[in-house]
A and B are shown apart, each in its own frame.
Chain A
């Protein structure tokens, strides 16, 4: 099968003239498969998208997690369109903002209040400032190699940084409680917050679940030492539990941030918090040009409603189990030690012994030749629009890709 890419390449040529690098960030071609993935997509529906050259792809990235209920979900689009007909941005917020805040504080067990923005970064950065305001302490502890956004205290790039940007950021290796305790001991009464993702979902590396004693220990330490526990649930939110990934791992954060799946593709993020942080939250200025966007809030309301009524997190986890097991079995057939790491609704594929990633890159290249969108460096995502027939089709195509990989490695 030949995957056409003339229009994609032409657009990219135009782009590099007017946009530095053509496409930047996590969707830059260099971060994925530059000559195998399309550069531009024209439309998407359910779990499939069509690129600008007319190739139809079976997708396992879901807009890098932003799509939970499928692309162009009609219920969500209808809710958004209804609001859009009334307007999106006004001088003041729309009533939908109150409804959304009420829903979040009602459904998320520890939440007493909510605020909204557009991206995860907006609110991870705001959250650590709220913690500093509350505690009066400077330091923030995070896990190494964890993505919390694009701000200078945490971004994964190298440029435009000064030493002070990270002088109050401390890091420990995920699951290494001894290292964390050392940091806490050496910075007594100086740590304002610990910010963590629900499990370790680094890029270019297998996902790591929390050890059994990880979250209980973190939660206790934070309580004992007066440290604010911040959960960055931007990526995982909605895919492990309908009302926050802390429920899946059974702990209670003080602040939690959601974005990606919250609006099912409509740009919105939310931070929810406990009562004791309400006053501090009022002191840390928060606003943005279009942050009161009523359309995205209407979409989020509907998205949450669907998650609840269709028990979507449970559904995508079940579908993920089926898919991950199927893929591992097919890999085994060809002698490849593939392990689908992390929760099954957002698995990271890892070939044992493939530390330099050559094998996963080649496998994803063979998959891409069949218009199967498997990313070699980032965890994949299952949406609720993936039907079992779609998963079966993906497994068949993956089997062919494994066969190609097997022949490639033999030669």
Chain B
């Protein structure tokens, strides 16, 4: 698949929503996964039915609301309703005041998904990873069940997921607690300072982690967020 450069940011935002919805379903056992699909040159579908123009999608991600395209919505009313419910659910979880397990797990996978999208489709990021042989980076929050991973295949396609990793991780990134993880998902982690304070612990393949870290910061400053 090719993602045109001008559509990378909305696509990354959409992928974040898809991953977030999957995590909500995983944690709450209810709801609908917002599968992402390009509809045409200017709009993206989330979960069947619900379609947004690229710009509107970014607006929705940033502000929590934007008008979808009404014809697909009317043609798929039930499906669109479920998608809207999931979007509202994600919004409410991410806007929780305290760093709950749900908030961190959803926020973390959202961030990793945007990172994976950039790693796979952004030219500069592809270049960064061109000599990598693949690997899995595991992200954990100490003393919780939160465990998400980002996997790089040998052909440089990045995927993300939660729970058990099928292969041994190449690197492990552990947040000291939920509060530190909350800082990370809202873009307030100091990637140089916080390891020095012991707020995060890193081990394993640091060069790979370094590259993914840079890509994640690039994605984080490019893709809007409600946080």
Contacts and interface: CB of A to CB of B under 8 A. Distances in A.
B192 A358 contact: no
B192 A20 contact: yes
Contact of B192 (A21, A35, A204): A21
Interface stretch (A8-16, A107-115, A333-341, A388-396): A8-16
Residue among A20, A24, A158, A159 with the highest chain B CB neighbour number at 10 A: A158
Interface in B149-205: 168-171, 190-193, 195-198, 201-205
Interface string A198-240: 0000001000000000000000000000000000000000000
Interface string A23-34: 110001111001
Given A39-B196, A158-B128, A204-B206, A16 B190 contact: yes
Chain B binding surface SS class: mixed
Interface in B11-40: none
Interface residues of B, number: 25
A375 interface: no
B196 A30 contact: yes
* Secondary structure call for the A interface: loop
A12 B192 contact: no
B198 A21 contact: no
Contact of A204 (B193, B195, B202, B207): B207
A22 interface: yes
A361 B128 CA distance: 24
B203 A358 contact: yes
A385 interface: no
Contact of A24 (B192, B211, B214): B192
A23 B210 CA distance: 16
A356 interface: yes
Interface string A355-380: 11110010000000000000001000
A28 B210 CA distance: 13
B207 A9 contact: no
Contacts of B204: 356-358, 361
Interface in A121-180: 144, 158-159
Nearest to A376: B206
Contacts of B131: 144
Nearest to A377: B206
Given A30-B202, A158-B128, A23 B196 contact: yes
A242 to B, nearest CB: 34
A28 to B, nearest CB: 5
Nearest to A16: B193
A12 B192 CA distance: 11
B170 A28 contact: no
A29 B195 contact: yes
Contacts of B170: 356
Contacts of B196: 12, 16, 22-23, 28-30, 34, 39
A355 B205 CA distance: 8
30 contacts: A13-B197, A16-B196, A16-B197, A20-B192, A22-B193, A23-B192, A28-B192, A28-B196, A29-B192, A29-B195, A29-B196, A30-B196, A30-B202, A30-B206, A31-B206, A34-B196, A35-B201, A158-B210, A158-B214, A204-B206, A204-B207, A356-B168, A356-B170, A356-B171, A356-B205, A357-B203, A357-B204, A357-B205, A361-B203, A361-B204
Interface of A: 9, 12-13, 16, 20-24, 28-31, 34-35, 39, 144, 158-159, 204, 355-358, 361, 377
Given A22-B196, A358-B203, A377-B206, 5 more contacts: A12-B197, A16-B197, A204-B206, A356-B135, A356-B171
